[in-house]
Amino acid sequence: MIPGKFITLEGIDGAGKSTQLTWIVELLQRAGLQTVVTREPGGTALGEQLRALLLDKTMTMHAETETLLMFAARREHLDKVIIPALSQGQWVISDRFADASFAYQGGGRGLNVDKLSILEHWVQGELQPDLTLYFDVPVEVGMQRVSQIKNVDRFEKEQADFFQRVRAAYLDRARQFPDRIKIIDSSQSLAEVKAAVEQTLKDVLNHG
């Protein structure tokens, strides 16, 4: 049996993560793999409650409080969902993971990267995703796509300069970890993005 792998999807709001998630699961299941789909913040009972607090646009909190809650939810997620599934040989696909903290809390909110790295090692040890698909779109494209949504959350309501910093931090992270993080040009049509995702996954299934 192929041991389980951990795939994470990243990108600014409106990049197309949730849209491509369905397609990724379909491709993996077609390859005969068992999949577990999850998301961050969230993925556990406690994590979903923390998510509700973190996304509540009427809530205000210090950037470090936000970061600590994100990592608290992640600790629970690893313990209750991600690690058990991987140990059973399942493939875990998570809509966001720790790179989002480096992008949103690091880039977006300006939190010190050394503090984020300490939390990352504390919560995850050496565990990293086997593959991260980073869906890259210009900020205007992402914001345009999200503008259709009526009830924007605490992050989606941020302005363009916030998302510029988030995108720049994601791209930095992708340059830092080129073997793990694959950049998908998500400004293309849905069909083109799907094809790019399929190609990237095939490479991983065949070589990794």
Ligand X SMILES: Nc1ncnc2c1ncn2[C@@H]1O[C@H](COP(=O)(O)OP(=O)(O)O)[C@@H](O)[C@H]1O
Where on the chain is the footprint of ligand X (CB under 6 A)? 11, 13-19, 145, 148, 186, 189-190, 193
Nearest to ligand X of 119, 163 (CB atom): 163
Tell which positions 5-44 bind Mg ion, by CB under 5 A.
17-18
Tell which positions 64-123 bind Mg ion, by CB under 5 A.
none
Nearest to ligand X of 79, 140 (CB atom): 140
Alpha carbon distances (Å) from 56 to 21, 49, 61, 147: 24, 11, 11, 18
The conformation of residue 16, written as its DSSP 8-state character, comes to S
Give the CB-nearest residue to Mg ion.
Answer: 18
The phi, psi pair for 95, rounded to 5°, reads: -75, 95
Extract the tokens encoding 166. 């988030």
Nearest to ligand X of 101, 186 (CB atom): 186
Residue 96 CB, shortest distance to Mg ion, in Å, is 8
Nearest to Mg ion of 18, 144 (CB atom): 18
Note whether 120 and 171 are within 8 A (CB): no
State how far the Cα of 67 lies from the Cα of 73, in Å rounded to an integer. Answer: 10
Give the CB-nearest residue to ligand X.
Answer: 16
Establish whether the linkage from the previous residue to 178 is cis, with ω within 30° of 0. Answer: no
Binding site for Mg ion (CB under 5 A): 17-18
